[in-house]
Structure 1
Amino acid sequence: MSDGLNPLREARVAELLLDFRTLQFLIAAAPTSPGNPDDYYTEGWAALRQCALDGQHILDCAADISIPCASGPGPDEQAKAQLKQILLDAYARRHEAQKIYLRQAAAQRWVGWRDSVLNEGGTGGSMEGLDGQLRVELANITDEAVYAELKANDINMGRWTAEDPSLRDVQRWIRSRRRC
């Protein structure tokens, strides 16, 4: 017996994939190399390059195409099982892309701050302070914070979130994709 929620599941997957696509465009558009070659190995530019690599990796990871077992008989129950699997994949990809995007934004702020300090004749101490600030910002971009932010945004947008995966499921999906 079908629960009648497959259209909601389909719409949710579409929303998540659209969000993921938008984040991928933003990640791909960010710079990865400084105008000054001497800045190449600085913390912010290294972070920007890592974000570009991480963004490409999340795109390159194949989706889980195994066919899940339905909990009941019939094509609607099979579709439900498949949609739940696809929902986890799309949700976790969006989560990881958001985390990359936030790290990238922090690194881009660092680049702006660094340029300002250099233009004002800043010292090595000023640069170390900026590097420390970047490390703090990057450390604050946790799975828990990203998950809570995305969930709050989805709820504020009136999206159907009743079957969204847990943070633990998302983290398990991410760990499984690090090997691909």
Structure 2
Amino acid sequence: MSDGLNNARALRITEIMSDFRNLQHYLSQIRASPTAEEYYLEGYSLLRQCTSEAQAILATPFTATSGATGGDPEREKQQLRGIIADAAVRRFQCQRAYLRAHAGMRWIDSRSKILRGQKPNASHFAALQAADNNLRVELLAITDAYVDYTLRSADAQQGKWLAEDPSSTQIQQMLMRR
């Protein structure tokens, strides 16, 4: 017997996919132009990795069962739950890539402020080292629990219906199966 929440589930899918689309848009707009000497530096490599992750998320096939519901509210309920789970995992992955890319962009800004258009030299060494260390610290702070927290707290602040969103543990399990 249906619980009457299929409209809420459908709305939740729309909200999650809207967040996903916004994150994908941001990640597709990342532009960095390192010199040949900078190309393999940690921050630039990170940005390329985040962009690749975003593209891979888009290329990942839909994992929930599909097919016509034929007007059966119970089958519709199960299908919507599957779509919520798949969409939540994709949004989680994009949020993680977004947070990491944002840290990379801060690293680029720091590096630019330190160098002020000059080539790196010995006088820049300590400040560049500090920027690299700061990036590593930021990346260590972007745990799966933190990514989950950022998404759930934003959703809760906006008063979104979260009753059937998968838990962090469930998201991790779905990611391991992919």
TM-score for the superposition, normalised by structure 2: 0.91
Q: Secondary structure of 2:37's match?
A: helix
- How far the C-alpha of 1:136 sits from its partner, in A, is 0.6
- How far the C-alpha of 1:134 sits from its partner, in A, is 0.3
Structure 2 residue 79 is the aligned partner of structure 1 residue 82: yes
User: Does structure 1 retain, via aligned residues, the 8 Å contact 2:65–2:82?
Assistant: no
User: Does structure 1 retain, via aligned residues, the 8 Å contact 2:6–2:80?
Assistant: yes
Q: Secondary structure of 2:166's match?
A: coil
1:27 aligned partner, one-letter code: L
Structure 2 residue 65 is the aligned partner of structure 1 residue 66: yes
State how far apart, in whole Å, the 1-side matches of 2:9 and 2:32 are: 37
User: Does structure 1 retain, via aligned residues, the 8 Å contact 2:64–2:79?
Assistant: no
Number of residue pairs aligned between Structure 1 and Structure 2: 172
Residues 31-110 of structure 1 correspond to what in structure 2 (within 5 A)? 31-34=31-34, 36-67=35-66, 75-110=72-107
State how far apart, in whole Å, the 2-side matches of 1:52 and 1:149 are: 20
- How far the C-alpha of 1:67 sits from its partner, in A, is 4.9
Moved over 6 A (4+): none
Q: State the partner residue of 2:177.
A: 176
Q: Please give the root-mean-square deviation of Cα atoms over the aligned residues, in Å.
A: 1.8
Residue identity (%) = 39
Unaligned runs of 5+ in 2: none
- How far the C-alpha of 1:127 sits from its partner, in A, is 1.3
Structure 2 residue 140 is the aligned partner of structure 1 residue 143: no
State how far apart, in whole Å, the 2-side matches of 1:95 and 1:26 are: 15
State how far apart, in whole Å, the 2-side matches of 1:78 and 1:66 are: 10
State how far apart, in whole Å, the 2-side matches of 1:37 and 1:91 are: 38
Q: State the partner residue of 1:71.
A: none
State how far apart, in whole Å, the 2-side matches of 1:19 and 1:154 are: 10
